Amino acid sequence: MEEQQETLGSQCELPLKSIAKHDEWDNWQWQMRKRIVSAASLQNYLHLDSRRIAEMTLVEERFRTAITPYYLSLANPDDPNDPILRQALPETRELQMADYGKADPLSEEDDMPVPGLTHRYEDRALLVVTNACAMFCRHCTRKRIWHASDANVGETSISKMINYIRRTPSIRDVILSGGDPFTLPTWRLEHILKRLRAIPHVEIIRIGTRTPVTVPMRIDKELCEVLDRYGPIWVNTQFNHPNEITEEAAAAVDRLIRHGVCVNNQSVLLRGINDDPEIIKSLCRKLVRAKVRPYYLFQCDQVEGVEHFRTRVSKGIEIMESLRGHTTGFSIPTFVVDGPEGTGKIPVMPNYLISQSEQMSVLRNYEGVIVGYRESGERIETQNHRTSGGVSAILSGQMSAITPYESRRMIRRRLRATGTGL
Ligand code: SF4
């Protein structure tokens, strides 16, 4: 069997649940209150020597820490390269390589007609409604807004953003972002959704949140009922590694879906965490099993304090090559580079177009078969002159395809033809 069955990740590698009384563990506000916010307090859960604690404390002066007990419980404390720990724990390279990146690499603030609202694409607007997150992901693009403490955006600022949308009829798609909008009290989120829904030209509301990954208990009944009331709502979340797709996370996604919310995933390609074709393939398969659509695979942005996570663009291409044709089409995300200078998302992929004439396009598939595709209305007459073969023979109609002898599909065909295969 080529396809492997994926299982949901094990939960609670670390015995963190013991710090919760009764049903506290399943209460998102308890998880938020009990976030680990300093390297010093991490000592209670991880084997960290004093030098490492001192290094992390130094990093925290610039880029702070917050980790929910739930998320930390998914880590393997004995693995220094554990993908959960790598995304959550501060490390010295954030400071050492900080000046490689920019505070605002996507120039979001240059496209803000009112503070906190980015209007880049004609029909979409992105609103930053809080700087708080359940966890501060070390690779975050908006490290610049973490500041010293959590702060929801004030009512006056939110009203200014909503007024801008109201007087801009081209905006039909509004993205609530942050920080993490699901860290807002539900009543505050509802207050924003209600006003947006009252604007006739707002067709879609999207919410960017990592809470299904970092504190899935946040997706509670009260929140789901609010989202149901103001739909259609699309949630974009960010699972980066298969270990993050636990039973609790899958159940949170299920609750969203049962309340009419569509769930997409936007992974970030992270060096040493998921920059491996098999890890991304496994992640995408598990996402689909959990009914989440793998939407984007992002090249990690050129952010200050994030350089050590960045891969080369070629790594993303290599990963896409391993997915297309090798797994279910709708489980393949689009690999995008979010361009500098506010140029927006630019899709990048392996090249499948080999050559072209007016009559013929020459394509290659995932197996390496190179095939001619006749253009509409063209009758391919074999030209008199002989070519020396190869792609030019396909263009001239002398050959239909070049097929690798070892293609698994062709081997199956040969075995069937000789009666030795299925
Ligand atoms: S949840 Fe999103 S906004 Fe918050 S730190 Fe992580 S990546 Fe950044």
Residues 126 and 140: their CA atoms lie apart, in Å, by 16
pLDDT at 417: 87
Domain stop point among 301, 329, 347 = 347
- CA distances (Å), 336 to each of 17, 20, 269, 317, in order? 38, 40, 10, 10
Q: Point out the ligand 1 atom lying closest to the alpha carbon of residue 177.
A: 3
**Residue 323, in any domain of the structure:** yes
Cα(154) to ligand 1 centroid in Å equals: 20
Q: Are residues 278 and 361 in the same domain?
A: no
Q: Are residues 340 and 362 in the same domain?
A: no
Residues 283 and 26: their CA atoms lie apart, in Å, by 25
Cα(143) to ligand 1 centroid in Å equals: 8
Phi, psi values for residue 215, rounded to 5° = -155, 70
**Residue 8, in any domain of the structure:** no
Q: Are residues 359 and 379 in the same domain?
A: yes
Mean pLDDT of the chain: 92
Which residues, in sequence order, are CB contacts of 90 under 8 Å at separation 6+? 39, 55, 56, 59, 60, 63, 65, 138
| Closest residue CA from atom 7 of ligand 1 | 140
Q: What is the DSSP string of 101-156?
A: SBSSTT-GGGG-SBTTEE--STTEEEEE-BS--SS--TT-TTGGG--SS--BPPHH
**Residue 327, in any domain of the structure:** yes
Place 384 in a pLDDT band, splitting at 50, 70 and 90: low
pLDDT tens for each residue of 214-267? 999 999 999 999 999 999 999 999 999 999 999 999 999 999 999 999 999 999
Q: Are residues 406 and 358 in the same domain?
A: yes
136 lines ligand 1 (CB under 6 A): yes
Cα(286) to ligand 1 centroid in Å equals: 22
| Closest residue CA from atom 8 of ligand 1 | 140
Residues, the chain: 422
Q: Is the pLDDT score of 12 beyond 50?
A: no
Cβ-based burial of 123 (10 A; exposed 0-12, middle 13-18, buried ≥19): middle
8-12, 144-148, 196-200, 399-403: least confidently modelled range: 8-12
**Residue 336, in any domain of the structure:** yes
Residue 409 bridge partners (DSSP): none
270 lines ligand 1 (CB under 6 A): no
Residues 343 and 302: their CA atoms lie apart, in Å, by 14
Q: Are residues 126 and 253 in the same domain?
A: yes
Q: Point out the ligand 1 atom lying closest to the alpha carbon of residue 134.
A: 1
Residues 39 and 269: their CA atoms lie apart, in Å, by 25
**Of 278, 276, 298, 288, the residue nearest 245 (C-alpha):** 288
178 lines ligand 1 (CB under 6 A): yes
pLDDT more than 90, % of the chain: 80
Q: Are residues 342 and 400 in the same domain?
A: no
Residues 319 and 274: their CA atoms lie apart, in Å, by 10
Q: Are residues 116 and 75 in the same domain?
A: no
Residues 165 and 377: their CA atoms lie apart, in Å, by 47
**Of 212, 255, 214, 268, the residue nearest 74 (C-alpha):** 214
pLDDT at 420: 76
C-alpha count within 13 angstroms, C-beta hemisphere, residue 318: 12
308 lines ligand 1 (CB under 6 A): no
Cβ-based burial of 354 (10 A; exposed 0-12, middle 13-18, buried ≥19): middle
Q: Are residues 149 and 46 in the same domain?
A: no
Number of other residues whose CB lies within 10 A of the CB of residue 234:
18
Specify the CATH number for the domain of residue 208.
3.20.20.70
Stronger pLDDT, 43 or 126, i.e. the higher one:
126
Q: Are residues 114 and 42 in the same domain?
A: no
pLDDT at 63: 95
**Whole-model pTM over 0.85:** yes
Catalytic residue from among 64, 124, 160, 197: 124
pLDDT at 10: 44
Task: Select from 180, 298, 301 the residue to mutate for testing ligand 1; criterion: most ligand atoms less than 8 Å from CB.
Answer: 180
Residue-range definition of the domain harbouring residue 179: 99-347
Cα(334) to ligand 1 centroid in Å equals: 20
Q: Are residues 360 and 330 in the same domain?
A: no
Domain stop point among 347, 370, 398 = 347
**Residue 171, in any domain of the structure:** yes
Q: Is the pLDDT score of 11 beyond 50?
A: no
Q: Are residues 182 and 297 in the same domain?
A: yes
Which token pair is 298? Answer: 């992002």
Instruction: Please give the tally of structural domains in the chain.
Output: 3
Phi, psi values for residue 52, rounded to 5° = -65, -40
Domain stop point among 347, 377, 405 = 347
Q: Are residues 335 and 380 in the same domain?
A: no
pLDDT at 383: 58
Q: Point out the ligand 1 atom lying closest to the alpha carbon of residue 179.
A: 3
294 lines ligand 1 (CB under 6 A): no
106, 338 contact by CB (below 8 A): yes
